[in-house]
Amino acid sequence: MKIDEVRDKCIRFDWAIKRLLRQKANFDVLEGFLTVFIGEKITIVEILESEGNQSRSDDKFNRVDIKAKNDKGEIIIIEVQNMRELYFLERILYGVAKAITEHIQLGDRYEKVKKVYSISILYFDLGKGTDFLYHGQNRFIGVHTHDCLQIKEKEKKALVSRAPKEIFPEYILIRVNEFNKVAVTPIEEWVQYLKEGVISPDTQAPGLGEARKKLSYYSMTKQERMAYDEHLNNIAIELGIVDAAKLEGLMEGHKEGHKEGLAKGREEGLVKGREEGLAKGREEGLLRGREEGLAEGRAEGEMNKGLEIARQMKAEGLPLEMIARCTGLSMEQIKDLKSGEKA
């Protein structure tokens, strides 16, 4: 790493969420991040409690989150996920649903339902997409016309107070590992920081200039740096364990697959060999039967022809010895012949 990059090195965003960004003095970093990814100016008024956003000495390193409320009363959940987790999509859906129900009381009018944003910063591969940024929200699409259902102005006043976009949760997935390009836009600069931990001194992206000052590795005390380094070490250990388990799984799977492949290959080979053997046997049997049938037919034909000639010669009164020499029949066969009858 170059000297400038070392000097520009910033702490990871999950550590910043855990230790720094809950402080009001650092809201500008969080607000800049949210403004870039949500696409509108965000002002945070309060950090809310959640299951995963409490700082504890025994914190695990796989997931860190923070829940905030903006000046419009909307709830924003930011989550950093370092490793793959079972039922990840179900869990973020549950987190959003829980945030909605936690901020409305039984008996309240439904107009009090809060809009929720769920932003997931992922350091593992999810799905097959090639983009590094994905956005999702409920929309009503025509089954036959494929148009998006819009709320009329009259309906906004009489039936609904907000459009679907203002009500339904929005999900933003940032797939950090998929980012491999030169950062140009504010979104790309933020994702580059999330991936590499470096912020350009010339950045104009909202919140990144403040992050460069406040999240600098060398602005921390020695004790804070030691705690942060231990955090990175724990992540590396966990990732190493996961990678080792994955490798063992691949090797075991390859071994089992090889065994199954051999067994299946033998079984298929036996079946195919049996089928080919039967087919070849039928073919050879037909051929041999045809040959034997032809030979027998020819022999029978020759015999019938000899008998007919012998009958004619006998009818002419020729000596039996002469008939035997001409036809190859025995004397007994000739004697048994009667004129006009077949033997």
For 120, phi then psi, to 5°, come to: -110, 120
Decide: residue 59, CB within 10 A, 0-12 exposed, 13-18 middle, 19+ buried.
Answer: middle
Residue 166 resides in a domain: yes
- What's the confidence (pLDDT) of residue 195? 93
- Looking at residue 25, its pLDDT comes to 92
pLDDT at position 325: 78
With 0-12 / 13-18 / 19 or more C-beta atoms within 10 angstroms meaning exposed / middle / buried, residue 48 is: middle
In a domain, 191, yes or no: yes
176, part of any domain: yes
Beta strand pairing call for 63-70 and 75-81: antiparallel
Tell me the average pLDDT of the chain: 82
Cβ atoms of 67 and 47 within 8 Å: the answer is yes
Per-residue pLDDT at 190 exceeds 90: yes
The verdict on residue 234 lying in a domain is: no
pLDDT at 267 over 60: yes
DSSP letter (8 states) at residue 265: H
Q: What is the mean pLDDT of residues 337-343?
A: 54
pLDDT digits (tens, 9 = 90+) for 118-148: 999 999 888 888 899 999 998 889 999 999 8
Spatial CA neighbour of 207 closest among 28, 41, 80: 28
Residue 340: pLDDT band with limits 50, 70, 90: very low
Residue 59 has pLDDT above 80, yes or no: no
Angle between the N-to-C axes of helices 320-327 and 222-315, in degrees from 0 to 180, rounded to the nearest 10: 160
Q: Please, how many CA atoms are within 13 Å of residue 37, restricted to the half-sphere of its CB?
A: 31
Q: Greatest CA span in the chain, whole angstroms?
A: 141
Q: What is the pTM of this model?
A: 0.66
DSSP code per residue over 122-148: ESS--SS---SEEEEE---B-TTT-PB
Q: Is residue 321 part of a domain?
A: no
- The whole-angstrom separation of Cα 115 and Cα 73 is 8
First to last CA, the chain: 111
| pLDDT attached to residue 343 | 44
- Quote the CA–CA distance of 75 and 294 in Å, as a whole number: 94
CB 75 within 8 A of CB 117: yes
Provide the domain limits for residue 70. 3-220
Length of the chain as a residue count: 343
- Are the C-beta atoms of 91 and 51 separated by less than 8 Å? no
- 325 within a domain of the structure (yes/no): no
Tokens 């071994």 correspond to what residue? 255
Check pLDDT > 50 for residue 26. yes
If one counts the domains in the chain, the total is 1
Classify residue 208: in a domain, yes or no.
Answer: yes
**What tokens were used for 292?**
């034997």
Contact at 8 Å (CB) between 66 and 60? no
Q: Is residue 262, in this structure, part of any structural domain at all?
A: no
